[in-house]
Amino acid sequence: MKLIMTGLDHHRADLAVREKFATTKEKTQQILGFINSEPEVNGCVLISTCNRTELYLSVLDTAEVVPSQLLCTSLCLSHVAYQSYFTTRHGTQAMDHLCRLASGLDSLIRGDDQIITQARMALDLSREQHCTDSYLETMFRVSVHAAKLIKANVILRGQGVDSVPSQTLERLRTAGPLRGRRAVVIGNGQIGRLVTELLIREGVAVTVPLREHKMGEIKVPEHAKTTAYKQRYEAIAEADMLISATASPHYMVHYDAMSQLAALPGIIIDLAVPRDIEPSVQGLPGVTLVTIDDLTGNSGALPTESLVQIEAIVADAINRFGHWAAFKHQLSMAPAGGSLLALPVRARRRKSLNATPRRRKRSAGEACCCAAKLGVSHGGGTQAGQAEVHQTVREPVRQLAHGQLREAAHGQLREAAHGQLREAAHGQLREAAHGQRLHIAGGRL
């Protein structure tokens, strides 16, 4: 089994390229299903944020897949045109990158507080689609734990938590005091809600446009006003600032409509990837358009002490994952019936049982071949898979532990019983000796 990741991010790809690879939840589900149907792929996780799109794969040792090509094909994009933007990492390099990514060290805004949640959500979505395996599950779990340690021991103590919403607020302050001003925030997702809450705390009157069929169903932050989505331009004409952060694949604000307004907000911040605001809006008089790439946080070099701490945390995480992988391999190699920890090899991958009709199912021969090469079972994140892990790994360990406890308890009882017998015998001897002394004394009298 081997792990591979590939991705493009703000380091090598500008916004125009990244937005072509940005995906919605529904699109991500389709991509996961497509990639996971490949015969050599055992699991996949896709992370798609405003700064990056990254694909993590668990594949057979003999696999010769090109992950960037799989991703481009799933999005109907030319691999030849975009392959230069991708960076591919294997094995420990992939996990090293994931630890740093989840901690926010690799974000455009260093220490971004949203990315760790986005990494967890990516794994959760893949699990829901039955597209993970135990290797990806463990790598992500250990990496996220390492990311938390980095944030707690390095970032929080050094520079404090930063995020896209907080940097948005800082950028808006450059246009003047916020209290008493009016803003329109399009998007009521995680980023949009956080921006709205921060603006309200600063004394800004915020209006959130909602589609009519969602009016009354979606809760917006307290003290925020709502308006119908169709009337968003009327609200924008009365606002001093406009912020948009949706997951829509289409523009939410168009140049033609904005050019017809009697008044325009002085600053517009587009936090979406792909973009919500048509770029030509920048050409309207008195308008400053800011994109996600224009926001920057703490970018200075970290002190040597912090770098040493980060290296130690990441190295420990990789080492723990290595021990887990070695242990799993040992379990798979144990002879059937020769040990309580023997791990049976399944002839079919569990995920093929949960495959949707549009996925190509493997034949029994292919599945047997894969299982023989892997030497492990593939329960992944499914309920049946978790039950198998419990049966084949946790249950034998529990039995061994129970046996040890039982032996220990038996030893304690045995010692207690021996102690009681000793005390009883000692008491009888003492009474007998006392009786003899009384008898002797009586004879003398």
**CATH classification at residue 184:** 3.40.50.720
Question: What pairing do the DSSP bridges indicate for beta strands 87-90 and 182-186?
Answer: unpaired
Average per-residue pLDDT for the chain: 80
Length of the chain: 445
Looking at the structure, do residues 71 and 147 belong to the same domain, yes or no? yes
Looking at the structure, do residues 143 and 253 belong to the same domain, yes or no? no
Take residue 199 and report the two structure tokens written for it.
């603006």
Distance CA 4, CA 442 (A): 96
Flag whether pLDDT at 398 surpasses 80: no
38 belongs to a structural domain: yes
Question: Which of 313 and 162 is assigned the larger pLDDT?
Answer: 313
Looking at the structure, do residues 229 and 122 belong to the same domain, yes or no? no
Return the top range by mean pLDDT from 28-32, 151-155, 370-374: 28-32
209: closest CA among 191, 193, 232?
A: 232
Q: 300, 276 in Cβ contact below 8 A?
A: no
Looking at the structure, do residues 133 and 62 belong to the same domain, yes or no? yes
Looking at the structure, do residues 145 and 11 belong to the same domain, yes or no? yes
- Enclosing domain of residue 44: 2-161+301-336
353 belongs to a structural domain: no
Q: How far apart are the first and last CA of the chain?
A: 95
Fill in the DSSP letter of residue 23: -
389 belongs to a structural domain: no
Take residue 263 and report the two structure tokens written for it.
């008044």
Identify whether 50 is a catalytic site residue. Answer: yes
Give 175-197 pLDDT, tens digit per residue: 889 999 999 999 988 889 999 99
* pLDDT attached to residue 162: 64
Give 88-137 pLDDT, tens digit per residue: 999 999 999 999 999 988 887 777 778 899 999 999 999 999 999 999 99
Q: Binning pLDDT at 50, 70 and 90, where does residue 71 land? A: very high
pTM strictly above 0.75:
no
Cα atoms found within 13 Å of the Cα of residue 61, Cβ hemisphere only: 8
96 belongs to a structural domain: yes
Can you say how many angstroms the Cα of residue 208 is from the centroid of all Cα atoms in its chain? 29
Number of domains composing the chain: 2
* pLDDT attached to residue 167: 86
Distance CA 246, CA 261 (A): 22
Question: Which of 353 and 407 is assigned the larger pLDDT?
Answer: 407
Over range 52-77, report the average pLDDT. Answer: 95
Looking at the structure, do residues 269 and 213 belong to the same domain, yes or no? yes
Over range 331-345, report the average pLDDT. Answer: 53
Take residue 386 and report the two structure tokens written for it.
């978790």
181: closest CA among 207, 200, 202, 204?
A: 204
Give 216-245 pLDDT, tens digit per residue: 567 889 999 999 999 999 999 999 999 999
Take residue 102 and report the two structure tokens written for it.
């989840």
47: closest CA among 20, 67, 28, 70?
A: 28
Fill in the DSSP letter of residue 302: P
pLDDT cut 90: percent of the chain above it: 56
* pLDDT attached to residue 356: 42
Over range 247-252, report the average pLDDT. Answer: 90
Q: What is the 3-state secondary structure (H, E, C) of 213-270?
A: HHCCCCCCCCCCEEEEHHHHHHHHHCCCEEEECCCCCCCCECHHHHHCCCCCCCEEEE
Distance CA 250, CA 197 (A): 25
Looking at the structure, do residues 182 and 283 belong to the same domain, yes or no? yes
* Number of C-beta neighbours around residue 139 at 10 A: 27
Flag whether pLDDT at 357 surpasses 60: no
* Residue tagged active-site, from 50, 72, 99, 131: 50
